[in-house]
Chains A and B, each alone.
Chain A
Amino acid sequence: MNTYIFDSSTKKNILIAFGIGVLLLLIGIFSYNSGASTGHGDDKHAVHASAKDATHTTVTEGAEHGHGHEAPTVRTALIANSYNVFYYFFYIALGAIFILAAANVAWGGWQIQVQKITLAMTVPIVVFLALLFVMFFAFNHDIFHWTHESLYVKGSDTFDEVLNIKKDFLNMKTFWAFTIVIAISCVWIVIKFWNTLTKMDTNPSRKLFSSSRVVSAVSIVVISFLINTFATWLWSMSIQPHWYSTMFTWNTMAGACVAALSIMLLFMHYLKAKGYLPNVNENHEHDVAKLMFAISIFWCYTWFAQYMLIWYANIPEETEYFRLRRNLDNYGILFHGSWVMNFIIPFFVLMTRNAKRKKAITIFCAIVIILGQFGAFFLMNCPPLLPKGGFGLISIGLLLIFGSIFTYITLMMLAKVKDLSSTTHPYYKESYNLHI
């Protein structure tokens, strides 16, 4: 069983998940109560109303006069949530490319048997790029405050001095130029990886092996200098256009990598349960879990450094970001939940060697990390659009819907791979022998 068959029972399960997602989404839409979708009682709102209004005016001073709607409607919630989900899955696929490239460029032998999973996970990037393009095209005014022309009219009420400085970068021409270049490079990298690694199954040669390393090295450079940098700046950081942080790009990428690894771990256990990957054992699971553990810590390191430095310097231009997100009335629970889920839980649960080798424990951590990173991504993208809170059923529903699509595409691509365990790879025997 070295070729994966995408069987109907799996398809049915994906469809069920998709259906639940749709159901949650519909419930979320019909029960949407603008400003109170996190489930806070009205009394509590009244008590904190003054404090919250103060925050609100600071953080969305631009958004107020630009958007022209005070309280977020269900339309805004849907746009913000969908955009966030597309961005999240785009980043997971990008994280998968990064992991694949890093493992290949570092001559990683242990991961050869599971690298086809990572490879398949890179393909959905095309779909999520397309979805992001739709969002950019149709809803750019809803997502990006800086797209409003009125901000740059000198002397008018809506004139924004800071954005006027930034308009050389934050304008539609630059935006589309970088967006298109990013999209082309992503697709190019995925095609290159797919062709090189699948060709090695049927025609194993040293030449292809060398070119797989070249592709890896080049894609790491392209991701680092171009894709990750400009995607985070233009697609995410500019949603709150006054705010800036140099760490933002690295924090996003670390989160994407750990989420991608967690999803990879889930696919690995799924394939094992179906009887594939016969020679993948707890040693390989141990290695994946170690990386999950390590990158969780690294993610928290970047998160802490960014948060602590901004907290410490206490410059209003910078603290607005966290004031909006840390407020217990809207996003506080999510904010603190995200570092607990992305760091505390994986750190303490995965600390011992035994835990990293237990299927149930690593799956639990993977799910916690996937949800935790989803929360972290939500916090990056959505609060400026939904300043009064808005993480709820709509978010979860959309996560399930597009998670199912991501899974479907990945498994569909996996079924096209001829040699699931990469038995022809020169390092295959190292992976086979792995004993740690």
Chain B
Amino acid sequence: MASHFESPLREPLINGNKTYKDITRDIVAPTTGKIQPKWAFWTAISAAFAGLFVFCIVWEVIFGIGTWGANKTVGWAWDITNFVWWIGIGHAGTLISAILLLFRQKWRTGVNRAAEAMTIFAVVCAGQFPIFHMGRVWDAFFIFPYPNTRGPLWVNFTSPLLWDVFAISTYFTVSLLFWYTGLVPDFATMRDQSKTPGRWKFYNFLSFGWIGTAKHWERWESLSLILAGLSTPLVLSVHTIVSFDFATSVVPGWHTTIMPPYFVAGAVFSGFAMVLTLMIVARHIMNLQDYITLAHIESMNKIMLLTGTIVGIAYLTELFVAWYSGSIYESYAFANRASGPYWWAYWSMMFCNLVSPQVFWFRKLRRNIAVTFFMSILINIGMWFERFVIIVISLHRDYLPSSWLYYSPTWVEIGIFVGTGGLFMTLFLMFCRFFPAIAIAEVKSILKVSGDQYRQKQLDEVSSMEVYKETTVTKGAWD
């Protein structure tokens, strides 16, 4: 039953001959000791940007939506672009923790905790945009259906925008529950490692008094599995519903049936790009190279290649069917994307999302950290442009040529967007400092299967098989 066999051809996921004890020490280490100046510096900068966010939001609330460039036919512009972009970034966390759990992908254990944290922070950032786009933000609670004194006046359940309210709030809640329940045992580990009573109390409070009995673990595993099973359709539904915001309408360029799955693929694509951007930096700063290995990075690059190509197929399908539909408005919408005044956005999107991930067909480049980092930035930009292309280009020329315009953002919009970046980074840096950045218990549970010191033993088990005759466990034996 307790077979720890895994083909020795698979690359180890925990390097450095770690024991259970080492795992605890290594992951708890970044949260203890004196605050590093590097950390303080970046946190201060991020917090400054978060301050910019607050400033711009206050400005927008005082002086109204007119401070944004969104106007005339371009009623949705940077705000909704950024909303969709942030929501998309959140998707990778749930994908890693839920879908890869169902697919029994062990490499998720190294990155799931941070990616899930990222999900939650990204959703927090995303939520700001539709809320403040309301203008009279003090009436924001009108979006919830509740018996009210305005007569029996209810929200419109037939509107995709309302579906979005439910989707985003459910997604946030469920992600938070999933993430926190996963954290509880690790907080207990942190508690038992703590050396001061204050720290003990802090982590004990967070750990809910977890002690790790067999029954608790059994329930915990069962809960994780079912939450994963729920999160999987949920994560699909969230970006699906975001795509419905566009696709249910009859705006040329928006109404296309492939939107739901391709939005999901694009979301996962951009989410992984963001995970890589953050983790490549975090593993260096926190010395976690043994837990977030090149194998992890390669796997994530493969997923980016896959999802990038799926998105690419969808772009081409849309383009073709726009022509095939025989509808002149639909054809024009796509021709305008490629050759209209915003051609640069369209071709940036095509280049960053479809063309550039193709470098990951080469193993060498998949395993090159510099290339991966550069690509992750490029893809983040590309996916931002995708939303910009869909939203702004489809809207800036409607059926009435006299209201055609060229949209540009104002400083308030730019400030809010850059500011959410600061908010996101502040939250993420706080997370890295105070929370275990890697799922301690889950990494321990795969040690005997995927730890590098066990590969030789596993090879001995199968050495009689002909295919393993010439295999040795040295660096680079796995492909």
Q: Do chains A and B touch in the complex (CB under 8 A)?
A: yes
B residues 171-210 touching A (CB-CB < 8 Å): none
Please tell me if the beta carbons of B250 and A313 are within 8 angstroms of each other in the complex. Answer: yes
Q: Are B467 and A206 in contact (CB under 8 A)?
A: yes
- In the complex, are the beta carbons of A224 and B313 less than 8 A apart? yes
In the complex, the answer to whether B479 meets A210 with C-beta atoms within 8 Å is: yes
| Interchain CB contact under 8 A, B255 and A309 | yes
Contact with B along A297-316 (1 / 0, CB 8 A): 10001100110111011010
* A138 CB-CB contact with B under 8 Å: no
**Is A13 on the interface with B (CB-CB < 8 A)?**
no
Q: Does A109 contact B (CB under 8 A)?
A: yes
Q: Is the CB of B318 within 8 A of A246?
A: yes
Q: Given contacts A301-B236, A309-B255, is CB(A426)–CB(B326) below 8 Å?
A: no
Check: A279 CB closer than 8 A to any chain B CB: no
Question: Within residues 399 to 436 of chain A, which ones have a CB less than 8 A from any CB in chain B?
Answer: 424-430, 433, 435-436
B128 at the interface (CB under 8 A from A): no
Known: A109-B7, A429-B461. A424 touches B466 (CB 8 A): yes
Q: Give bound CA distance, A245 to B258, whole Å.
A: 8
Residues in A133-187 with C-beta less than 8 Å from chain B: 161-163, 165-166, 169
Q: Please give the number of chain B residues whose Cβ is less than 8 angstroms from any Cβ of chain A in the complex.
A: 46
User: In which size bucket is the chain A interface?
Assistant: 35 or more
Assuming the contacts A249-B317, A426-B467, asked whether A165 and B5 have C-beta atoms less than 8 A apart, the reply is: no
Q: For the complex, is B257 an interface residue (Cβ under 8 Å from A)?
A: yes
* Chain B 228-259 interface residues, beta-carbon cutoff 8 Å to A: 233, 236, 240, 244, 247-250, 255-259
CA distance A435 to B3 in the complex (A): 9
Asked whether any CB of chain A lies closer than 8 Å to the CB of B1, the reply is yes
CB of A315 within 8 A of CB of B257, answer: no
**A427 with B325: CB separation less than 8 A:** no
CB contact between B258 and one of A221, A247, A297, A426 (< 8 Å): that residue: A247
Q: Contact check: which of B250, B255, B258 meets A250 at CB < 8 Å?
A: B258
Bound-state Cα–Cα, A169 to B240, Å: 31
Max count, chain A CB within 10 A of own CB: residue among B3, B244, B326, B462: B326
Q: B477 — nearest CB in chain A belongs to which residue?
A: A206
A residues in contact with B102, CB < 8 Å: 290, 294
B25 lies within 8 A of chain A by Cβ: no
Query: How many angstroms between the C-alpha atoms of A427 and B250 in the bound complex?
Result: 51
Residue in chain A with minimal CB distance to B466: A204
The listed residue (A206, A249, A305, A428) touching B260 by CB distance below 8 A is A305
Q: Are B255 and A315 in contact (CB under 8 A)?
A: yes
Shortest A361–chain B CB gap in Å is 18
Chain A residues within an 8 Å CB radius of B255: 309, 313, 315
- Tell me, in angstroms, the Cα distance from A309 to B325 when the chains sit together: 16
Complex contacts, A427 vs chain B, CB 8 Å: 7, 9
Shortest Cβ distance from residue B96 to the other chain A in the assembled complex, whole angstroms: 15
Closest partner residue, chain B, to A238 (CB atom)? B324
Q: A310-B257, A315-B250 are in contact. Are A246 and B321 (CB under 8 A)?
A: yes
Return the chain A residue nearest B330 by Cβ.
A244
Chain B nearest CB, measured from A71 CB (Å): 29
Chain B residues with Cβ under 8 A from A162's Cβ? 326
A246 touches B258 (CB 8 A): yes
A250 CA / B247 CA spacing, docked (Å) = 17
The answer to whether B249 touches A225, judged by C-beta atoms less than 8 angstroms apart, is no
Indicate whether B471 reaches chain A with its CB closer than 8 angstroms: yes
In the assembled complex, how far is the CB of residue B133 from the closest CB belonging to chain A, in whole angstroms? 23
Given contacts A312-B248, A313-B248, contact A429 B5 (CB under 8 A): yes
Question: In the bound complex, how far is the Cα of B1 from the Cα of A214, in angstroms?
Answer: 34
Partner of A435, one of B1, B326, B466: B1
CA distance A333 to B236 in the complex (A): 29
Of all chain A residues, the one with the shortest Cβ separation from B233 is: A297
Which chain B residues border A309 with CB–CB below 8 Å? Answer: 244, 247-248, 255, 257, 259-260
Q: Could you pull out 28 A-B pairs where Cβ atoms are within 8 angstroms?
A: A166-B324, A204-B465, A204-B466, A209-B467, A210-B479, A225-B313, A244-B324, A245-B257, A246-B259, A246-B317, A248-B257, A249-B317, A250-B258, A250-B261, A301-B261, A305-B259, A305-B260, A305-B261, A309-B248, A315-B250, A424-B465, A424-B466, A426-B462, A426-B465, A427-B7, A433-B3, A435-B1, A436-B104
Chain A residues within 8 Å of B, Cβ to Cβ: 106-107, 109, 161-163, 165-166, 169, 200, 204-206, 209-210, 221, 224-225, 229, 233, 242, 244-250, 290, 294, 297, 301-302, 305-306, 308-310, 312-313, 315, 317, 424-430, 433, 435-436
Enumerate chain B interface residues (CB-CB to A < 8 A).
Answer: 1, 3, 5-7, 9-10, 102-104, 233, 236, 240, 244, 247-250, 255-261, 309-310, 313-314, 316-318, 321, 324-327, 461-462, 465-468, 470-471, 479
Q: A309-B244, A426-B9 are in contact. List 13 more A-B contacts (CB 8 A).
A: A204-B465, A205-B467, A244-B321, A246-B256, A247-B258, A247-B260, A290-B102, A301-B240, A305-B259, A312-B248, A317-B325, A427-B7, A433-B3
